[in-house]
Structure 1
């Protein structure tokens, strides 16, 4: 009898595909199924409608801002129907930070947290042997060494939100940001529009980390999505900078979702549960360049040693990370808000008019009273 066959889509970085492809080659056949994984660029997260991907793939690796769009188009199967409420309850306790909670929307979970990440600090340990702890210390350091903000693509809005989260917890339901907190976050970003920031404004997190790894003229990025792969290449990581409310960071990472076109079999269910289990998360995934989502993996001394202390250096940030807007239209808003922030910062524009344009964009992309 032929094994059930499934097609999946993940992102084109070793952290995104290596463990999944290795599991498809070695674990899935023993479980009685066949999985083929395609890849798309990191930017494909923002560029491609989730409904179109769900029409072509059984399994989709996505990030949490897509869930509102997915629910609006009814293109994913809730995980309550895939692995059951009991398994989800156990995973809720086991997943680090809000990794699983980020995929709960409209009363259901729409993905399993395969990979966990948040914006953390990255630095060259030779140039910055002791990383700054606060935003004031980051600003002071930027006068002495090259410090760059991560502002490419959606990351201008993500950096802004992380800074805002360090200044005050929570945000309004029907607006994007509290005006006073938004102005303070924008002004802090304006103070960090250094020559290094301007020179690297088009570089995504991977390019920024690559620059530090290669010894280019970049000493520190205060907020950049952590990639464990670079810990072995000379990049040091630390918790995100602290503000009045403590560490502020916006959750990243990815989840594995099941499309409506997929026929869920016992074999597939077993594979998904294996991917989220202790053995895969603490051994198989880290051994294949992945970044696990279980708290036990992040706290495992063996895993931490193997990756030069990346997990212990950044786990506090992940535990306290905040969520992005997830409503239908969140991706389009994130793109527009980032462009508005970049334009305003490059032009040295004051906070008020830039934030007014961002709030207008939020109103266009978000229906008042809907879940965010």
Structure 2
């Protein structure tokens, strides 16, 4: 008898279509029935993982939720289900730290189904020159060029983190429990303040999907220097409003500095899931090179396999989305995964937005971020 599984992903073609299509197309091949349901992007970013794992067998999640999930015993370590050689292969083939972002305490808690990072999005037809290579170039764009920061939800602090990482000081890298040094924090805020002054108020509350919707459907936004990349906006677009993506700006212009916060999604099995050989075979297929290079890109997905990111046909269909942003993905930075990080991320984003809106002092914000980080921090 074919076993049925209840599964949850996020409500966007990139997050849903390939999974649902694979479940349908391979039900008889793999002998497994997976019923995919959807939640909004905001739920994916912040919904308590314990609640989701109590209701679903398979959960598509964001790696910062792992500390919470592992602390509460929500997930099954994949070393108990797959061979070490499987995990080593997925580690080697995944772009950047995709698989490593799902590892805590020497164990792997999710498979890197999808890869993304904050990259640059622009409308070439609204720019007078190629996309800016440095932060100084971004700040110096003509005043008539509409530029916006991605600040909604958790993205305010993620934008802060990406700029800090580009400066060579990812948060928490100085010592455990220390958010960021004051000199680096002030440099980040100099960039944020310069760009906030020209960020249209209508964009402040827009999540990345809504921001890219605005960019692709109107002429009110020409460039967002840090926003999670969505290949869907680069597929088949040949109109004057086509969105194009590129590696993130750096401070010196050196490509080796191009780094940002990694995102993407992992597919995890809750402790309520009775994983059959058929289900494991289905997951192996989703991570296989043929599925990642062909099936997933053909079904609105954004693969994690490095070979797909450099595949000529995949890039031809997406106007170079993958090749143009691959350096940022390879050099991207993994956020903390401690239990309590999600609460910090939410609070810190609100602090950043409030400080930018009120024009409050740098010291107040940096002290507040440090205090919140120290209170939430737990060694992993």
Q: Provide the TM-score with structure 2 as the length reference.
A: 0.94
RMSD, aligned CA? 1.2
Name the residue aligned to 1:238. Answer: 246
Q: How does 1:206-217 map to 2 (within 5 A)?
A: 206-217=209-220
- Matched residue, 1:15: 14
Whether the 8 Å contact between 2:113 and 2:287 is mirrored in structure 1 is: yes
Aligned with 1:288 (options 273, 279, 299): 299
- In the other structure, the counterpart of 1:361 is 372
Q: Secondary structure at the match of 2:60?
A: strand
Cα distance in structure 2, aligned partners of 1:35 and 1:243: 46
Of the candidates 182, 191, 204, which is equivalent to residue 188 of structure 1? Answer: 191
Residue in structure 1 matching 2:349, options 331, 334, 338: 338
Q: Deviations over 1:68-107 (max 9, x none)?
A: 1111001100111122211011111100000000001111
Q: 1:178 aligns with which of 181, 188, 191?
A: 181
Is 1:97 matched up with 2:96?
yes
> 2:279: which partner in 1?
268
CA distance in 1, matches of 2:285, 2:169: 35
**1:161 is aligned to 2:161:** yes
Q: Does 1:54 align with 2:53?
A: yes
Secondary structure of the 2:41 match is coil
Using the TM superposition, give the Cα deviation of residue 211 of structure 1 relative to its aligned residue in structure 2, in angstroms. 1.1
**Higher mean displacement: 128-137 or 283-292:** 128-137
The residue that corresponds to 2:321 in the other structure is: 310
Mapped partners of 1:300, 1:280: distance in 2: 13
User: d(CA) in 1 for partners of 2:351 and 2:374?
Assistant: 15
Q: Does the 8 Å CA contact 1:53/1:60 hold for their aligned counterparts?
A: yes
C-alpha deviation, 1:29, in angstroms: 2.5
The answer (yes or no) to whether the contact 1:163–1:249 under 8 Å persists in 2 is yes
Contact 2:169 2:184 in 1 (8 A): no
Query: Separation in 2 of the partners of 1:239 and 1:144?
Result: 23
3-state SS in 2 of match to 1:126: helix
Deviation per CA, 1:339-368: give whole Å up to 9, x if none: 00000011111211111111111122113x
CA contact (8 A) 2:169 2:180 kept: no
Q: Per-residue deviation at 1:197?
A: 4.1
Alpha-carbon distance between aligned partners in 2 of 1:195 and 1:316, rounded to the nearest angstrom: 28
For 1:45 and 1:36, the matched residues in 2 are separated by 18
The gaps in structure 1 that reach 5 residues or longer are none
Q: Tell me how far apart the structure 2 counterparts of residues 79 and 33 of structure 1 sit (CA, whole Å).
A: 19
State the distance in 1 between where 2:117 and 2:45 align: 17
Show the counterpart of 1:29: 28
The residue number in structure 2 matching 1:136 is 136
> In 2, distance between residues paired with 1:231 and 1:46?
23
Deviation at 1:169, TM superposition (A): 4.0
Q: Tell me, what secondary structure is at the counterpart of 1:38? A: strand
